[in-house]
Amino acid sequence: MDPMLAEPSQWQQFVEGFELFRDPLLCALMAGGVLGFLSVYVVLRRMVFVSAAVAQSAGLGVALAFYAGIHLGFEVEPVIGATALALLATMLLMMDPTRLRLTRESLLGMAYALSGGAAILVGDRIAQESHDIQGILFGTAVLVTPEQLRTVAVAGVAVMALHLWWYRGITFASFDRIGALVQGLPVRLLDGVLMVSIGVMVGVCARALGALPVFAFSTLSAIAALMLDLRLPWTFVVATLVGIVSGVGGYMFAYFFDFPVGGSQTVVAALLVGVAMGARALIQLVQRKAS
């Protein structure tokens, strides 16, 4: 058989069509990296379900943006709807729930269930956009538009610049609140910066990639890094790398094995947690034999 007539391999097709895959790969890299960095705060401050509720709210924001354009006659950019609802949910979850005689878990559960249910109801009234709604909620985004990539890039660079600049203050206020107050740090401002950062990144990334992989990047990345029992700065570095590998590796896996992108990115993030668990067990075994 003439080799010139042979079907090109999937790798050849990927290389030849790289311009088509470049934007979603870059978006996954930036979203995974920034959310991976923020995930250390999310997990260590026990805010895992805050991330889930905010991601779900971002999905509702996109659904409402579509609804406004179709039924109310005015256009709202879906990314603005996602970011606005994500920030609103973040602000609500920052409130002290004891004033309402609720526990924080109750407030989180209500926010998650309400936003998820409302997204389904709104999605039912915009059947022509139902595919987009499914993509936002479960992460089936094969392609990322240049506008979505620019939005994620601008938000990611701004968030990372601010967090690297204020790294000591935000970590001090996050993990030793009383000590930070004694030292005179503006703890409420630093808390607000952290929560707004999470809300903005979850909102813009959920619009581009879907709520499911965004939740995975913002929780599983830190869980994998914390398994290695590293010093805090290295935990941030490893969590960032895990987020990047999950985003890019998940997209590649989905392409080569023909799976949905969001589910693949989520499963890769979970597998990296398993790899970290195995590495930790191996290190402990070596240490026991050496002692």
Higher pLDDT, 219 or 203: 219
- The confidence band for 140, taking pLDDT boundaries of 50, 70 and 90, is low
User: Across residues 39-55, what is the average pLDDT?
Assistant: 84
**Is the confidence at residue 127, as pLDDT, over 70?**
no
Please check whether residue 262 is in contact with residue 213, taking contact to mean a CB–CB distance below 8 angstroms: yes
User: Across residues 83-110, what is the average pLDDT?
Assistant: 79
User: Across residues 140-148, what is the average pLDDT?
Assistant: 74
Q: Residue 227's pLDDT is what?
A: 92
DSSP string, the chain: --GGGSPPPHHHHHHHTHHHHHHHHHHHHHHHHHHHHHHHHHHHTT-HHHHHHHHHHHHHHHHHHHHIIIIIS----HHHHHHHHHHHHHHHHHS-GGGGT--HHHHHHHHHHHHHHHHHHHHHT-GGGHHHHHHHHHT------HHHHHHHHHHHHHHHHHHHHTHHHHHHHHH-HHHHHHTT--HHHHHHHHHHHHHHHHHHHHHHH-HHHHHHHTTHHHHHHHHT---HHHHHHHHHHHHHHHHHHHHHHHHHHT--HHHHHHHHHHHHHHHHHHHHHHHHHHHHHH-
Alpha-carbon span 190 to 199, nearest angstrom: 14
Alpha-carbon span 40 to 42, nearest angstrom: 5
pLDDT digits (tens, 9 = 90+) for 177-218: 888 888 888 988 998 899 889 888 988 888 788 888 888 999
pTM summary value? 0.84
Neighbours of 137 (CB within 10 A): 24
**Is the confidence at residue 156, as pLDDT, over 90?**
yes
Q: Residue 258's pLDDT is what?
A: 86
Indicate the average pLDDT of the chain. Answer: 85
Q: Residue 217's pLDDT is what?
A: 93
Q: Residue 104's pLDDT is what?
A: 73
CA distances from 31 to 53, 126, 247 (A): 18, 28, 8
Q: Residue 275's pLDDT is what?
A: 95
Among the listed residues 168, 152, 191, the one whose alpha carbon sits nearest the alpha carbon of residue 35? 152
